[in-house]
Each structure stands twice: as structure tokens, then as C-alpha cells.
Chain A
Amino acid sequence: DAGITQSPRHKVTETGTPVTLRCHQTENHRYMYWYRQDPGHGLRLIHYSYGVKDTDKGEVSDGYSVSRSKTEDFLLTLESATSSQTSVYFCAISAGTGVTGNQPQHFGDGTRLSIL
């Protein structure tokens, strides 16, 4: 299995509080992603990173920010959590384009976040 660790695995917090989720990889992959998964919506991309300090928005980026100061860590921050951000959050990594073409994504086990 790809070396991806998400922390925390579970979190319950109140509306209006800041929340930071961490994704740590040991594969030295260039690309890292944050997704949220919700019933009826499937997996939706929040933000992604294509290198240290290089990030871009996904389709549901409002209310979220990210940072990547090191290759191995990608942080997702909810500045002021809302109940609509209750979800399961997945981190994924990818080596990007290799000799044989684009490489697959590998996923972490997810963080279950509840905003009360």
C-alpha cells in the first residue's frame, strides 16, 4: 500500500471553529489532492497540489484553504467550519506523468469530520 497517513481519522467540532486536516506521504510523489465524499455527490475535488507551494482549486474549494510547505505534507484548513462541511475527507497522491504515462492515484483511509 502507498504510504499515506491522514490525521485525525475522526473529528467532531462546532460551527465557526477552525479545523486543519493533515495528509502525510512517504512516497515522495509530486501530486497531492484533497477530496470530499458525500452521499449523492460522490467524490469531489477540493484542492490539489502539483509541487511544494504550488496549489490550485478544485470544483468545491469555497470555504477551504490548503498549504504545502514540504513534499510530504498537504494541509487542508477550514477557516470557520460550517455544518455543510460535514463529510468524509480523502487525501490522494500521484506520481504524475511517468515514462509509461500518467500514474495512478492512491488514496488515504479518510477523515470523518462532523460539524455540529
Chain B
Amino acid sequence: KQEVTQIPAALSVPEGENLVLNCSFTDSAIYNLQWFRQDPGKGLTSLLLIQSSQREQTSGRLNASLDKSSGRSTLYIAASQPGDSATYLCAVRVNRDDKIIFGKGTRLHILP
């Protein structure tokens, strides 16, 4: 059974720092991995999607990497800003029938 883990559960860093969020999964046979952002009281916003054949994806200050063999993905945020404060979730697509398994998220707080 696929399990997705995100550590730490919460993180506080000063504004301007570069930071890395971690996601690990137990079964390396995934179709893709997606990173989301969730603001309090809101739905999830898709940030980046990495196909199983890819190693990384970039969007602005965000870079997500994928290492299937080790069951790990990282989300790198450059030059963090207070507006980056949110909960970040990773999710893996398990198989072709489109089930997706979510981690419990990392709650990020950027200190002004």
C-alpha cells in the first residue's frame, strides 16, 4: 500500500531564505507526483506536476525534484516571502485508474 510522508509537519523560516520541503513515498512505481499549496480555509492549488519519467520541474521561484528509486521528492522555494506562508502537500498518482494518495502536508510560516 502506497504511503506518502511529509516531514516536518511545520516549519518557520525568516523571509529571504531558500528552503526545501520533503516528501517521501513507499512504492517507487508511481505515474507522477504533484505539489499543492493550500491556504487556510481554501482549496488546493496545483503548483508543479512531475511525470514519472522526469527528474524535475520549475515554475518561477519553485523547483520540484523527483527521485523514484529512493522514493523522494523535494520542493525548493527560493528567496522565500511572507506570501509563501501556507500548507504544502505532495501527492502521488498510484496507477492508471487515477487514484492519488496525499501526504499530510508541511505547514510553512515565513517570518517577516
In the bound assembly, the distance between CA atoms of A59 and B93 in angstroms comes to 14
Interface residues of B in 19-54 (CB under 8 A from A): 31-32, 34, 36, 41-46, 49, 51, 53
Interface residues of A, CB < 8 Å — how many? Answer: 29
B34 in contact with A109 (CB, 8 Å): no
In the bound assembly, the distance between CA atoms of A42 and B101 in angstroms comes to 10
In the bound assembly, the distance between CA atoms of A31 and B48 in angstroms comes to 19
Residues from chain A with Cβ under 8 Å of B49 in the complex:
102-104
Contact of B103 among A42, A96, A106, A109 (CB under 8 A): A42
Interface residues of B in 45-65 (CB under 8 A from A): 45-46, 49, 51, 53
- Given A102-B51, A104-B49, check contact A58 B99 (CB 8 Å): yes
Interface segment, A13-21, A43-51, A69-77? A43-51
A105 in contact with B99 (CB, 8 Å): no
- Given A42-B89, A102-B31, check contact A107 B103 (CB 8 Å): no
A94 in contact (CB, < 8 A) = yes
B88 in contact (CB, < 8 A) = no
Interface residues of A in 13-37 (CB under 8 A from B): 31, 33, 35
